[in-house]
Structure 1
Amino acid sequence: MNAKRGFYNAIFGLLSQIISIALGIIIPRLVIVNLGSESNGLLSSINQALVYLNLLEAGIGTATLQALYRPVAQKNHEDINHVMSATNLYYRKVGKYYFLAVCGLSAIFPFVVHSSLSPWIIVSVIMLSGLSQVINFFFQGKYRILMQVEGKSYILTNLGTIVNTFSSIGKIILLLNGANIAVLQLMYFGFSVLQMIYITRYIRKNYQWLDLSVKPDYEAISQKNSVMVHQISGLIFENTDVLVLTVVCGLKTVSVYSMYVMLFGMVGTAISTINSSVSFAMGQAYNTDKKYFSKLYNIFETYNMSLTFSLYCVANIFILPFLRLYTKGVSDVQYVDHLLPYLFIMTYLLSNGRSAAQRVIEYAGHFKLTQNRSIIESAINICVSLVCVFKFGIYGVLFGTIAALFYRTNDMILYSSHKLLKRSAKNTYFKWLLNFILFAVIMFVSNKLFDITMLNSYIMIIIYAAITGVVVVAAFFVMGSVIDKESYLYCRDFIVRKIKLKFDRQ
């Protein structure tokens, strides 16, 4: 059952990403062309500011995930109800505070950011964007967590794909007809309401045993405060760049930054979707069968690294040719920069490549024991970014991110290996080294093979990217299988058994 749900999560997740990428690429260009880079930068700044308000969630979601793995694996409905009851009460309280915070942010933001846009437009965008999250806290957030732990993320993914598709089509139509960004957010809020209604009805139909009126088990999610420290550090870390650039360099520079984040972020989201498709199985295994978990961990570490390096390698090859076409005719700021892709790639490789170590720390519930390390990571990012941004601009904030990630990624690898898995980290570092070497080799070869005259249209970029993607992904996965033969054999035998079982049933 877990394998089947994991497969569904991965397939539907990837399908969702393909659709999201196709639509997501169109909209930012329409915003830039029709409303200007300032509007695009404003949307990014507001989104980052709203992310900080998620600190009010206080780690409830992650603590609930960790608390539910065991009872869900054991199908213990009574314990699930007690945990969900506590989560529900916490989320309702958070929803009230979040709404007040959104109101406060909408009143302050127009005076903090220098913009030619109407203050009323800015206020409207903030309120409509914030209300979508208020709905999540009051109605659907707790249900999403339960479905994730049970491996039903594919249902949420399919729903998100439908909502994203129709809302994106709506945004395109509105932009082509001259609508402002406030109208775009109003339409998105409407789809958020419809999504909430569907999830609520799904839960009532398929989880009739769920009872949120039982006595809440606050102890089960007592680590929420320690999780909150991690989330505070994480949010500061993830959003420092945009906020520093907003204040120091202006909204046009934020627009450039957000453009690279959007394109590279699509790759990251695809990787995260695949990783999340098996996360529930790993979480349940850690809490019920450590030996089985050890096998899953090795497989996840090896092939997550292969997937991360290969996809970002392909993205790095084609991002600048794509940006030349994508921003053609936009003259208010320069988007094409030969150094930026490498700086962004380094941040994403360090961030995504450590996923295996990060997950085992979460499964073990070592939030309090590692919170100081998370604080140090954020402190490094802030300090280096503030020192460097005045001299190096957008490069400076990326220097800060890379420095912080270099520290924390190594810390996670060593902590998870020595403290939790009780083994040496040498094999993990060996995998990192070989993946970096292969990445460098492929980049060197690609720079010799491709030039701007070959990649002068979207069609040519797509064709060459598809061919290159097949070759590069295969190369990284073959190398991963060679250096971790045990994981390869386990995956091969598992797939063979599943195929044989499928044919036997027919």
Structure 2
Amino acid sequence: MTRQRSSINNLIWGIVGNVATSVIAIMIPRLFIVSYGSEVNGLLSSVRQIYFYLALLEVGIGDAAVVALYGPIAKQDHSSVNAIMAATNYYYKRIGVIYGFSVLAMGLLYPLLLDTAIPYTVCCLVILLQGSGSVINYMVQGKYNMLLRVDNRNYVTTNLGTVTSILTDLCRIALLLHGYSIVAVQTTYLVFNLVKMLYISYYIRKHYQWLDLSVKPNLKAVSKSKFVFVHQISSLIFSHTDVLILTFVCGLKTVSIYSMYATIYGMVDNVITITSNSVQSALGQVFHSDRKRYMELQEAFEVYYLALVFSLLAIASIFILPFMALYTQGADINYVDWKLPVLFGLYQLLNYGRASSSQIITFAGAFKETQWRAILETAINFGVSLVCVFRFGIYGVLFGTIAALVYRANDMILYANRRVMKRSAWPTYRRWILNFGLFLLLVAGFTHLPLKLDNYLSLFLHAIWISVLVVTAFFGINTLVEKTARKTAWFYVRGILDKLRRTRQPV
């Protein structure tokens, strides 16, 4: 299968999977709030953040393995791939054992630190069940996910994740509606993680018969993991520290409010991440085999990636407050606050606006060279959040995240363009200014329209036509302005159309 065909499969199945899972998953938080209260919803969000931090035990092995695999996969060097995969397997099994003991310790100790009316036993079991899936992942399927990711077969794990997520959520909804305990509801995670483990193992045996993990491991190939680890800490700090600080400073109900907005924006995040991941392995292989061609592709990717990011976040910013008012109606606390979409929107724009530059740094393997920058980002985030949360509450932690991203987004753009690609960073900044200006214009314009959004049907109908206009505006203006990117994109689109035309012709 060609890189182009695989990238298209990754994108199509990723978006289909995201839509399917989002439609069902959006029901879950409301059911938790209504059935168990905001405190239980806050507990689940808090526990998820803890496990994101426990993922640091992986110490960058996965990402280091991905970077090491790009070259051998592009050259179909199975011998080198086996050695790198053997090293990844060696480390992942050790991590799995440590992670298992950590999950047990978390289940026993973390409930003692919480100021909550939820019984200790319930908290303990929820934590253990929540962490069981990651133990399985490290012990069995994690290394295979890395291989599929580099080999441009993300659609395999995406489709599997879609099916198991839908089945998991349907089971959770059924249990919630029939009044089962939160422990019974969380058990579904364990069951369907076992299903995923069995299928991935079967798929690898069938499609990668040449894979041999018994060869001598190439431990040197993943030696950059210690530098990747620093970057993972930085990523976790700005993504997940907010909830932990709010847990201990403001309480679980405030965590529930934060997590609701994070969930809505998270659905947008999923589409953006899927789009990026669908072409990442193809771009990574080209980066290591044809740098001139990569520069052309990267230009086109950045233009249309930014158009997608700004258009989706503009749509989310327009409709999040009317949706939140309907969605949390009857809740035990107020979830509607106009300041939160402003802060969350800026946070997401800065985060994803830097992604194309971050991708370049990753392909170059410049983890050691940029680690002090990641440490500085972490310090800014944690320091500002900790100072501001006591005065500004939920807004304070977002101030910290935004402050760190203002620094790091600019740093990544400058480093990727000047140090790695040896070119000016102005084109990236120019695209940012163009899209941000259009973002402000469209969000301000549509939010002030006298739209009747007092039920889900009217919200959905208005969202359709406004979304079409917003997406058309961003992609249309970027296509008009960016001549080089337009030509590169049209070359590949025309190739896809020609292939489709040939396949439909009678033999």
Distance 1:153 1:407 in 2: 32
What is residue 351 of structure 1 aligned with on the other side? 351
SS of corresponding position for 1:333: coil
Distance 2:100 2:87 in 1: 20
Kindly report which structure 2 residues correspond to 1:72-151, keeping only aligned pairs within 5 A, or say none: 72-151=73-152
What displacement does 1:30 show?
A: 0.3
What is residue 288 of structure 1 aligned with on the other side? 289
Aligned: 1:504 with 2:505: no
AA aligned to 2:29 is P
What is residue 382 of structure 1 aligned with on the other side? 382
SS of corresponding position for 2:26: helix
AA aligned to 2:470 is V
Q: Does structure 2 conserve the Cα–Cα contact (< 8 Å) formed by 1:351 and 1:405?
A: yes
What displacement does 1:180 show?
A: 2.1
What displacement does 1:493 show?
A: 2.2
What displacement does 1:482 show?
A: 2.1
What is residue 427 of structure 1 aligned with on the other side? 427
What is residue 492 of structure 1 aligned with on the other side? 490
What is residue 394 of structure 1 aligned with on the other side? 394
Distance 1:234 1:501, change over 3 A: closer
Kindly report which structure 2 residues correspond to 1:51-450, keeping only aligned pairs within 5 A, or say none: 51-330=52-331, 332-450=332-450
Distance 2:215 2:483 in 1: 49
Distance 1:258 1:180 in 2: 21
1:10-32 Cα deviation digits (max 9, x unpaired): 11100111111111110100000
Distance 1:66 1:180 in 2: 43
AA aligned to 1:480 is N
Q: Does structure 2 conserve the Cα–Cα contact (< 8 Å) formed by 1:91 and 1:138?
A: yes
Q: Does structure 2 conserve the Cα–Cα contact (< 8 Å) formed by 1:481 and 1:488?
A: yes
Q: Does structure 2 conserve the Cα–Cα contact (< 8 Å) formed by 1:20 and 1:161?
A: yes
What displacement does 1:489 show?
A: 1.3
1:51-71 Cα deviation digits (max 9, x unpaired): 110000010000000000000
What is residue 41 of structure 1 aligned with on the other side? 42
AA aligned to 1:501 is K
Q: Does structure 2 conserve the Cα–Cα contact (< 8 Å) formed by 1:147 and 1:153?
A: yes
What displacement does 1:497 show?
A: 2.5
SS of corresponding position for 2:171: helix
AA aligned to 2:184 is V
Percent same amino acid at aligned positions?
A: 45
AA aligned to 1:373 is R
Residues 226-235 or 156-165, more deviating? 226-235
Q: Does structure 2 conserve the Cα–Cα contact (< 8 Å) formed by 1:431 and 1:483?
A: no
What displacement does 1:225 show?
A: 0.5
Q: Which runs of 5 or more structure 1 residues have no equivalent in the other structure?
A: none
Residues 194-203 or 482-491, more deviating? 482-491
Distance 2:150 2:27 in 1: 34
Distance 2:457 2:233 in 1: 43
1:277-320 Cα deviation digits (max 9, x unpaired): 00010110111110111011111111111000000001100010
Distance 1:238 1:502 in 2: 41
What displacement does 1:236 show?
A: 2.1
Distance 1:504 1:432 in 2: 39
AA aligned to 2:313 is Y
What is residue 31 of structure 2 aligned with on the other side? 30
Distance 1:460 1:188 in 2: 35
SS of corresponding position for 2:402: helix
Distance 1:29 1:170 in 2: 16
Q: Would you say how many aligned residue pairs link Structure 1 and Structure 2?
A: 503
1:330-354 Cα deviation digits (max 9, x unpaired): 1x22100011101000000000111
What displacement does 1:444 show?
A: 1.9
What displacement does 1:496 show?
A: 1.5
Distance 1:318 1:471 in 2: 14
Q: Does structure 1 conserve the Cα–Cα contact (< 8 Å) formed by 2:70 and 2:285?
A: yes
What is residue 476 of structure 1 aligned with on the other side? 474
Q: What's the TM-score once normalised by structure 2's chain length?
A: 0.98
Q: Does structure 1 conserve the Cα–Cα contact (< 8 Å) formed by 2:304 and 2:478?
A: yes
What displacement does 1:483 show?
A: 2.4
